[in-house]
Structure 1
Amino acid sequence: MSSLFVIDLIYLADLVEVERHLNEHRNFLERQYEVGIFLASGRKEPRTGGVILAAGNRSEVLAVLENDPFKTHGVAEYSITEFVPTKTSSELARYRHPA
């Protein structure tokens, strides 16, 4: 059964530099949605980074993040929190672990 991950992106560069890589980052996100690893994502307010909700195993998620253009261009770093959901909405029921 997959764990869930909260991935906290923290920008390391100013927004002008981040914006230069945004389309490439969005394409990266879309590929991860297509294969089922990413479940939700969006920017933080204030705009200091973003948040991604991902499913899988830790090594898989870490490997995927190595290919994020924000990482390869050095404009963001990540804080990753793994959690084991014991209660979910019906839409996320397949990720629910027994209590």
Structure 2
Amino acid sequence: MFIIILRLTKNKGHLAEGHFTEHKAWLSQGFEDGVFDLAGRLADVGGAILTQNATRDEIEARVARDPFVIHGVAQPEILEMSPSVASDAMRHLIPQGNQ
């Protein structure tokens, strides 16, 4: 599982609006492909995406295709997480070997 942090850059103001529709389509494709599980804004930072069902190389390649990354709106950070404890509602995200 990976957490993608998209930190807005100083270019965010004049660039984000012009690429938001493309970024939203990129997000939708990640959900359709079964790779993205959750996405949302981070107050005063940018956004975050919770992912699974992909390798680090696949995630890095996917993030490199994000229009916000391509056009300098956001700087990505990819964190790998091995969940081991979860609420009942999120237990399905824990791999069988980690429970």
Q: TM-score range by the shorter chain?
A: 0.7 to 0.9
What is the letter of the counterpart of residue 49 of structure 1? G
Aligned CA-pair RMSD: 1.7
More divergent stretch after superposition (14-23 vs 82-91): 82-91
Unaligned runs of 5+ in 1: none
Unaligned runs of 5+ in 2: none
- Aligned residues with identical type, % of pairs: 32
Cα distance in 2 for partners of 1:44, 1:94 equals: 21
Q: Using a 3 Å threshold, how does the CA distance of structure 1 residues 85 and 73 change in structure 2: closer, same or farther?
A: same
How many residues end up aligned between the 2 structures? 95
In the TM superposition, residue 16 of structure 1 has moved relative to its aligned partner by: 3.1
Runs of 4+ with >6 A deviation: none
Q: How does 1:25-44 map to 2 (within 5 A)?
A: 25-44=23-42
| Secondary structure of residue in 2 paired with 1:21 | helix
Cα distance in 2 for partners of 1:57, 1:24 equals: 24
Q: Using a 3 Å threshold, how does the CA distance of structure 1 residues 27 and 10 change in structure 2: closer, same or farther?
A: same
In the TM superposition, residue 14 of structure 1 has moved relative to its aligned partner by: 2.9
What is the letter of the counterpart of residue 50 of structure 1? G
Higher helix share: 2
Q: How does 1:17-96 map to 2 (within 5 A)?
A: 17-46=15-44, 48-55=45-52, 56-88=54-86, 89-93=88-92, 95-96=94-95
TM-score norm. by structure 2 comes to 0.83
